[in-house]
């Protein structure tokens, strides 16, 4: 069975990510296939809407398949990962700017690469099981696939909070933070999908939507805006360390699991992207870090600790209390002739 099922169904082009055993993690081949079908369906007058779904009960897409990136990087081949990111980022940009309405059904886990696939669209649907997060700092990366732009657009300082703590958002939180648009009970999805395929009418989405309830993130809004407002990551760490209390202690515990270099660069990245508000420019900024991540950052060690050996004891290059700004800025320097090129090869 193919890892990606792509077919026309009435007035819809339908993508189903079909790796349920791997939480529908996105492979390089799947990225290229999606891009190819997307181009065909955008040019097809019979296709009025495009749908994204994930097979199985546990996930829409829990991220990118990074095992191949790890194996090639350990062998000293950094070009494979750089090409993967280039082509994936090009797909992210195309999805965000597609002339046709695209709808994502974000059940279960939607993380990392799944956010890039499903959260830049005009119609993003969540349900009772939805759990959305950007956990890249935990493997030595920054929130990428355009995630920095979503974080930069989040209310107040929630972008900084979500990007560094990797906190998961349920359906109400995802809508509040700008990662989703509508809550629709999952039992109603088949009927909605049938309507979309029959009619191509996206107004059916709003008609099917229900209240998501209060967002739990609102309960910590004051603390997030107070402690995550620093200009640099070090400011945030100092704010939390010198305050105490349950919220600060919980945040420090979450931050201690991730790469200090990646978190420092994440704060810098979000601040830069917030003033740009453009997905292509955001992807270009992210690529500066991911281009260097295996060779100069914590990416290899993060994958080893969290995915390969699973000892969850990474040996990061820096401590959280180090002066991290010079190293983070170096990871985000322009790449010159190696800058992100979204032209199809």
64 is catalytic: yes
Provide the phi-psi class of 3: left if phi over 0, else alpha when psi is between -120 and 50, else beta. alpha
Non-local CB neighbours of 176 within 8 Å, separated by 6+ positions: 155, 215, 217, 218
Neighbours of 15 (CB within 10 A): 24
Q: Looking at 65, 88, 144, 268, which residue is catalytic?
A: 144
Non-local CB neighbours of 116 within 8 Å, separated by 6+ positions: 88, 89, 91, 92, 95, 144, 145, 146, 147
Q: Looking at 3, 65, 88, 136, which residue is catalytic?
A: 136
Q: Looking at 13, 108, 112, 113, which residue is catalytic?
A: 113
138 is catalytic: no
144 is catalytic: yes
Residue 182, H or E segment: strand 182-183
Positive or negative: CA dihedral 107, 17, 14, 143: positive
Non-local CB neighbours of 136 within 8 Å, separated by 6+ positions: 112, 142, 143, 144, 147, 166, 262
Q: At what angle do helices 246-255 and 233-241 cross, to 10 degrees?
A: 140
Place of tokens 């950052």: 297
The CA distance from 155 to 229, in Å, is 12
Q: Are 299 and 293 in contact (CB under 8 A)?
A: yes
Non-local CB neighbours of 56 within 8 Å, separated by 6+ positions: 20, 21, 23, 24, 108
Q: Which of 39, 33, 262, 287 is nearest to 145 (CA)?
A: 287
136 is catalytic: yes
The CA distance from 157 to 206, in Å, is 29
Active site residues: 64, 113, 136, 144
């Amino acid at each position: 069975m193919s890892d990606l099922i792509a077919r026309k169904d009435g007035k819809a082009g339908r993508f189903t990510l079909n790796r349920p055993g791997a939480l529908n993690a996105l492979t390089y081949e799947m990225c290229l296939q999606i891009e190819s079908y997307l181009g065909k369906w955008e040019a097809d007058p019979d296709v009025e809407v495009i749908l994204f779904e994930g097979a199985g009960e546990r996930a829409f897409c829990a991220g990118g398949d990074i095992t191949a990136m790890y194996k090639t990087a350990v062998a000293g081949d950094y070009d494979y990962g750089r090409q993967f990111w280039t082509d994936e980022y090009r797909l992210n940009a195309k999805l965000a700017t597609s002339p046709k309405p695209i709808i994502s059904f974000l059940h279960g886990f939607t993380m990392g690469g799944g956010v890039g696939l499903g959260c830049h669209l005009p119609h993003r649907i969540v349900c009772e099981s939805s759990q959305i997060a950007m956990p890249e700092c935990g493997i030595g990366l920054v929130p990428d696939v355009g995630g920095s732009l979503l974080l930069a657009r989040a209310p107040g300082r929630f972008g900084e909070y979500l990007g560094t703590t990797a906190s998961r958002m349920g359906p109400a939180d995802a809508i509040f933070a700008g990662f989703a648009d509508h809550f629709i009970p999952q039992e109603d999805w088949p009927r909605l999908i049938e309507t979309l395929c029959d009619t191509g009418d996206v107004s059916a989405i709003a008609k099917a939507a229900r209240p998501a309830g209060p967002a739990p993130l609102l309960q910590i809004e004051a603390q997030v805006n107070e402690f995550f407002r620093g200009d640099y990551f070090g400011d945030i760490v100092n704010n939390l360390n010198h305050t105490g209390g349950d919220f600060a202690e919980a945040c420090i515990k979450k931050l201690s699991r991730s790469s200090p270099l990646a978190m420092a660069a994440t704060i810098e990245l979000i601040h830069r992207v917030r003033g740009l508000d453009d997905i292509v420019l955001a992807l270009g900024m992210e690529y500066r870090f991911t281009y260097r991540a295996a060779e100069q950052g914590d990416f290899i060690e993060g994958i080893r600790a969290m995915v390969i050996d699973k000892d969850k004891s990474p040996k990061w290059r820096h401590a959280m209390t180090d002066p991290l700004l010079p190293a983070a800025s170096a990871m985000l320097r322009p790449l010159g002739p190696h800058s992100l090129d979204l032209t199809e090869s």
